[in-house]
Amino acid sequence: MSRRVVITGQGAISALGQSAKATVSAMMEGVCAIAPLEFPNADRLSVGIGGQIKGYDPAAHFSRSELALFDPFTQFAVLSAREAVAQSGLDFDEALSLRSGVVLGSAGGGLQTQDENYRLVYEEGKNRVHPFVVPRLMMNAGSSQLSMIFGLRGACYTIATACASSNHAMGQAFHAIRGGSADVMLTGGSDSMLCFGGLKAWEGLRVMSSDGCRPFCATRNGMVQGEGAAVFVFEELEHARARGANILAEVAGFSMTADAGDIVVPNKDGAARAISGALADGGLSAAQVGYVNAHGTATAVNDRTEIAALRTALGPAAETVAVSSTKSMHGHIMGGTGAVELLPCIAAVKDGVLAPTVNYDTPDPECDLDIVTNQARDQRVEVAISNAFAFGGLNAVLALKRFS
């Protein structure tokens, strides 16, 4: 019999708040944290807005030696993990450390470090860079730092599958515990790509909005990028029960598929197979799903494709399921976005409150499911699913259920 996996801790930092509690609270209040960007050369960008974390002081959280090694994406992962582990109440002793690991997702890794040092070399003509550039920019920096900080000696790695990275990572953590190779995993994702080079590259794709993120709204005109992280403690149920842990939700199922089609255009069938697969993996029916945290990027093709995929996967049940995209508030956090978006899924099954899609003003006839618009909704939810659909045609869907 497969082992059950539960969530016993959560931590986060985003444009909405510098903790999981603050982030979720702002989501439920419908706060939009998308604002003008503030960093060098931001005035040279045509988009000009993003879900940037404002009022953040790295020196208040890390020593000088740590900051020499930690790119912002690593800082965000560490802060989130500290919060999650503290909430879980776990003490990683010798035995547990051998049965615990880390799997994070990231699309950009230490992109800010990379961008700044390319600028120093190519623009300013510097002939040397800091000796810690490589440890700062490598994709596994966040995962490795968490393993060292908490003494976790099981599997430790980072998954990079563009915007599905966090969901893939959390799915692998779920599999590790359910399959018996671990008892505890720190998992989630982190990205901090709000810098001149990072955003200038995205501008080239012509999918960015310069005036706001409006998923599923007829007036939407593109995505808005954000930054941040979320980390969760996934734990085997009996291990959590034995120590009297407070259980936030149960991870019921996970599925991942590939479209094997276009590198940037999503495919309804691939997404639908991932949604159906996550439910089948958890032994769940479409009728049990009460809430979907959509990928919802606010590009015309993504939103319409996702709605069509939900109809295909859920059948008649799609007409009554509540759907929202919190990217409208915190922006698209790229590889870290699925982790931040698991927070409202936990809130849905645990507290019965659904985060809204803000900035919504005009219905789109092709996105006509039950979109939770502009204000949070109180509604008991037994099962919530979180969608992540990435460039490359990669789909990863997690299903959570109310713990009982």
Which residues does the annotation mark as catalytic?
A: 163, 295, 332
Of 391, 107, 161, the residue nearest 261 (C-alpha): 391
Instruction: Measure the CA–CA gap between 199 and 220, rounded to whole angstroms.
Output: 19
Around 190, how many Cα atoms within 13 Å sit in the side-chain half-sphere? 39
Strand 184-191 relative to strand 228-236, pairing: antiparallel
Instruction: Measure the CA–CA gap between 157 and 354, rounded to whole angstroms.
Output: 32
Instruction: Measure the CA–CA gap between 145 and 132, rounded to whole angstroms.
Output: 14
Residues whose CB falls within 8 Å of the CB of residue 54, separated by 6 or more in sequence, listed in order? 15, 35, 38
Owner of token pair 């419908």:
30
Residues whose CB falls within 8 Å of the CB of residue 208, separated by 6 or more in sequence, listed in order? 47, 199, 202, 222, 223, 224, 225
CA 371, 377, 383, 386 dihedral sign is: positive
Greatest pairwise CA separation for the chain in angstroms: 63
Q: How far apart are the first and last CA of the chain?
A: 18
Per-residue burial over 160-183, b = 16 or more CB atoms within 10 Å of its CB, e = otherwise: bbbbbbbbbbbbbbbbbbbeeebb
What 3-state DSSP class applies to 289? strand
Residues whose CB falls within 8 Å of the CB of residue 69, separated by 6 or more in sequence, listed in order? 132, 135, 136, 141, 145
Q: What angle do CA 173, 103, 21 make, to 5 degrees?
A: 85
- CB atoms closer than 10 angstroms to residue 388: 33
Residues whose CB falls within 8 Å of the CB of residue 57, separated by 6 or more in sequence, listed in order? none
What tokens does 287 get?
């009728």
